[in-house]
Chains A and B, each alone.
Chain A
């Protein structure tokens, strides 16, 4: 509803859709609360002490006020200096006690919240590790991160503040109400009459404010998205002299954002004063009626009680607006809890069956038998695939984008389970093999060449954690690229940066080769990188690749002619079917699809 109010120019600057936004509120749900509360179970001692301190504190605050009122009413009014001293001492003692309780109340609440969140984060992470590849292919990284960061953060506030602060404040209200009843029941009813007004104001403004904040967030996300793009695309912008146009569009966006901000600030500006006005109304009413009672002869109320009542009323009212705020936060926390628990409740689509067999040794014979597969039901990507890869052979997979090459390697790596038909590893159904065992014998190099932000050595060690530095250096030597790695600023100890960004594409590829090779896998899966590197580096990568492949059953999604030439079998895929198979030479002679592809390419190059 708010997005429609955005300026139309936004469409021409950046089209940020908000359609995937998740609800930021969720009604209070008892099951969620119980489940969240269960997370405090491991910290039961902390929680119980906290509850005690909460109860204590809700009594202490009104009591302190009561002492002041009592002293003013009694000793001060009567001129009893001894009573004054006693009252002062009592007050000092109680104040000290109150603050001591406060220390525990605050510290334990904060720590409990953090402890719960800490456990939740670990649970989420552990859970994520169990999810199959499909989950990560279909879920955006940002979404998973926001589960872990912002939702969990909302939950923390929920535990740290909403629950315990609300308890303290409710308690304080009850105790203050009791005192007021004791002072003057009539007046108290009057106070009670004002409470709903206060509550209503709160509800009204909180609702409108949360709408306003949402509009602010939406417009701000448009601002940041535009900004991010502007910064990343600055070279294009300057190259095409678009600076002024962009600046004008951006100005419009932030004007728009500022309008929402202004609206919210304006509302806040009305809200707080209205609350205070309500308090003032109460003071005036109290004066009028209380004063009336005191002034009427035989009214029974005296001035001291009136003062006490004034103080207590403050104790009674201040929680109301606080609780209104807490209620809002509680709804936000609920939404967070709902999402976090939904993630935790998403069962992995498949896990190893209990009967899964260990796989100590692998020869490396892979067989596809009439295998069909679909990512989405009803949209098959592989049809009746049958082939055998004998141990030690290299199979090249060739075909257009979307022909099913990646799906085949996804199945061999057991990232996905086959649909119908069978995939046999050394004659065993892949479904019946322990996934961890299988992967121990499979080395994978994918196109992205993903590296962790760690040193080169540690990145290679991912392939075999117990490998020593010397072993890793030896792997580089066997790949015949040790000189290239040692040429890095700090050699093997060079930090590769986030996603390996500090290495060149070619260097990243070599590290990935080493990572796959260090585990000495029997089966190798390789999705050849497509990015361009200069011919010299290219040459080195090719040589390393040849060494990596030798002696292993290898599946290669090939982009280079030399790799295909090297393969024992070339499988040509088209729309999920194997349309041709054979060696390069055989296929060229066969003048089929492969030959046509090849011809066309050669023509393009020779032109």
Chain B
């Protein structure tokens, strides 16, 4: 993290320098006010000590006292204007520095996030990842401007003040600062004690929010099961917990702050008693001595308080930074081998050779997968939930790398393909048909933003999406997603197919998990899928018998192993999962109707 500060050293040094200048100007103008008081006092009352002129600048004897006072007032004004200007410049500089850091960090983190492997996303919740770019980055910035610069500035300021005070009167300085260590110690202790309370508080608040959001989202359940009273009791309890947690913090805070306040006043008291005596004895000037001292003590207390803030900043910036650097330093588990040659064309010949895969060591998800697909073939993958179907297809575009064995495309290990070439040549229709909140056209052109409208429309037509897109309020320019037009599950999936087809990929992966839609759509979906597969090597995860029977070969997975392989007819002929699954359905189909051709119509007859 210090390295980060080093990267911005020029900016940091400038900020520190400006801060020092500010302290000096402030001190001068304060001194001048004291001087004026002393001068007036000396003029009115000749017995009292004569003022000490700074830098040996004595006003000419010929000046009248009023002129001298006016001159001092003028000097104060001048310094004040200078101070204002310098502070403004300093603030702008500091803002510039921190913003540069934040922009740079956010860009870096985002860029890295875009490239991180899927494993990273499997391990972390999306909320926590988002926080890293938004909140935690601020934490890192805090380290630069809230910790590094602040430590230097506060340290310097304290040193200057201390030096000035010591130069005025040593024993008085020491006496007045006697309580400072106590203050410092108390601040540290307080922040240590209150932090766990804050954390508990946050947890309690999260629980409250969860209780509320679940209640609202599940309102139909709450209402249909008459749970209102129980829900209220649950919420009231969570609310009470939040309140009690807050009270605990409040109690601590309310003891701490007045105590610190009292200590600061004790300082003033010492100043008044001891300093007052010194003034009486003529050892201290009223203005340049006592008055300046009183003001400085005030500022001193502020700066010490600052130190406590800094220690808090260190804490939060370190936790933030850890989380940011965890992202920045996360290894790219899937990355190009250096100097991977670029290949443009892909024929679409696939081969899995003894592929094993595990998300966590010791818990294999796929074992000894062996199969081949020649260009243009369609391979369907069937099996129960959790049998490893989605994992199997995700090895092809290298969302994960196999733990053992090889995946070959055109006889080249996928790890030796350039990632960009590999993925551009594989069209993927994901299970959840995730669409982004932009226009329909932009979504279809997602993989190829420069695509022309004709290309987009052609892809949409092939995916049987053109008609419904035309009927949307703004056609292809309709904004979809959270803030836009809502699409049905079938429509979303057809857009996802169009998105994959736009790239004209030689290899197509279809993770077919369409939610049931009305029969017309169902019909069109099947058509769209059939057209999409035409002329491409296709891996399709299928539940529908209609899809399965069209495949050139079917692979049946069970607990990560290929248990059966063959065409629809072959598999029906042998005992096993496939025949069993077909039988369940066939039994149901027979029960439905006497019409014979319903034999294997579908696993899920949808009307």
Contacts and interface: CB of A to CB of B under 8 A. Distances in A.
A532 B77 contact: no
A303 B69 CA distance: 13
B262 A96 contact: yes
Given A72-B290, A125-B212, A240-B446, A601 B522 contact: yes
Contacts of A76: 276, 279-280, 286, 290
Interface in B521-538: 522-523, 526
Given A126-B232, A141-B213, A538-B603, A303 B37 contact: yes
A604 B438 contact: no
B224 A91 contact: no
B437 A605 contact: no
Interface stretch (A12-20, A329-337, A357-365): A12-20
A415 B606 contact: no
Contacts of A542: 588
B1 interface: no
B437 A277 contact: no
Contacts of A294: 40, 44
Nearest to A254: B106
Interface in B206-237: 208-210, 212-228, 230-232, 235-236
Given A71-B276, A533-B385, A605-B545, A285 B216 contact: no
Given A262-B96, A444-B220, A564-B607, A102 B103 contact: no
Contact of A68 (B133, B250, B268): B268
A295 B91 contact: no
B519 A600 contact: yes
A596 to B, nearest CB: 9
Contacts of A118: 239-240, 242-243
Interface residues of B, number: 169
Interface stretch (B5-13, B79-87, B181-189, B356-364): B79-87
A446 B515 CA distance: 15
A265 B95 CA distance: 6
Given A307-B291, A401-B518, A560-B606, A498 B129 contact: no
Given A223-B134, A236-B446, A268-B91, A68 B294 contact: yes
A44 interface: no
A552 interface: no
Contact of B277 (A84, A283, A307): A84
Interface string A459-477: 0001101000000000000
Nearest to A91: B269
Contacts of A251: 103, 107, 110
B250 A114 contact: yes
B584 A535 contact: yes
B169 interface: no
Contacts of B258: 99-100, 102-103, 106
Contacts of B76: 280, 283-284, 287
B121 interface: yes
A537 to B, nearest CB: 6
B70 A288 contact: yes
A579 interface: no
A16 B479 CA distance: 10
Given A224-B134, A534-B383, A606-B597, A284 B80 contact: yes
A587 to B, nearest CB: 10
Contacts of A129: 215, 222, 228, 231-232
Contacts of B413: none
Contacts of B81: 277
Nearest to A585: B593
9 contacts: A84-B276, A98-B265, A136-B216, A250-B106, A251-B107, A254-B103, A291-B73, A302-B44, A439-B223
Going nearest first, the 5 A-B pairs with the smallest beta carbon separation are A269-B91, A280-B80, A561-B605, A240-B447, A265-B95
Given A238-B399, A241-B447, 13 more contacts: A14-B437, A110-B253, A129-B228, A225-B437, A227-B134, A254-B102, A274-B84, A284-B77, A439-B226, A463-B225, A498-B210, A530-B516, A535-B584
